[in-house]
Amino acid sequence: MKKNTFKVMFVIRRNQVNRDGKCSIVIRITVNGEYERLNSTLSIEPELWDSKAAKAIGRTQKILDFNKRIEEIKYILPDHYYELQKTHGYVTAEMVKNAYMGITARQSVGYISIAGALSLLVRKIFSGMFPERSQVTFLLISTLYMTT
């Protein structure tokens, strides 16, 4: 049985400083060597960030709240990973990212209806029903909007 790997890293974007002098924190989700980046809503002054510990340095209430939010994310993401592993049997970094962002349920339904719409469209194209490209594009777009 193949062993799956899962890792969550918090990376500061030092090259992009906002007006307040803060840099945003990016969440890097790695599953079996594949990774996805996810922008968090967190930002901090670059000199207060400890890259090795992946948390802010300090004891002020603001820093403690910041580190608490990082810890919450560290616990939420593995929960999504294990839930997806149990449900689907396999997990990708994109699936964990989508689950964290709250779009898993909608997309799983969407994938089925999009796949069904595309197979219907392909059957109609090959049967000669839609010889013009504009008709095919219109049907594809209208079908996709109706399923979401």
DSSP string, 43-93: EE-GGGEETTTTEE---SHHHHHHHHHHHHHHHHHHHHHHHHHHHHS---H
Kindly state the tokens that stand for 61: 């209430």
What strands, in cross-sheet order, belong to the sheet with 34-44? 6-17, 23-31, 34-44
- What is the reported pTM? 0.66
Kindly state the tokens that stand for 101: 């962002």
- Confidence check: pLDDT of 62 > 80: yes
Alpha carbons 56 and 47: distance in angstroms, whole number: 9
Alpha carbons 109 and 97: distance in angstroms, whole number: 17
Instruction: For 5-38, write each residue's pLDDT tens digit.
Output: 999 999 999 998 999 999 999 999 999 999 999 9
